[in-house]
Amino acid sequence: EIVLTQSPGTLSLSPGERATLSCRASQSVSRSYLAWYQQKPGQAPRLLIYSASSRVAGTPDRFSGSGSGTEFTLTISRLEPEDFAVYYCQKYGSSPYTFGQGTKLEIK
């Protein structure tokens, strides 16, 4: 079973700064079936990125995903106030569809 470990647990940044979130897998993720979600308090998760680097329609282009194998990164180029939230990575395509434990992006 693949375990996803996200780092850091909390990231404190200011609007306009660049955010780099990491997701490390215990084994190689097949076909880069790695997704990123954003979740705000009281809301359901929102899919941002799939296949490690493909943006979902409606995801702002300041969000970008990269990586393959066991190392994946979500980058937010210039933080907007609405970007402060919790971000999760997920491995999909085969069971178990594991989530990482999340990274909280908070305003500094």
Report residue 48: phi and psi, to 5°.
Answer: -105, -45
| Residue 82: how many other CB atoms lie within 10 Å | 10
Q: Which of 35, 74, 76, 85 binds another protein (CB under 8 A)?
A: 35
In the block, residue with structure tokens 């990482």: 100
Which lies closer to another protein via its Cβ, residue 14 or residue 32?
Answer: 32
Give the type of residue at 28: S
- Asked if 60 interacts with another protein (CB under 8 A), we say no
Per-residue binding letters, 86-105, with another protein (x by CB under 8 A): x-x-x-xx-xxxxxxxx---
13 sits near another protein (criterion: CB under 8 A) = no
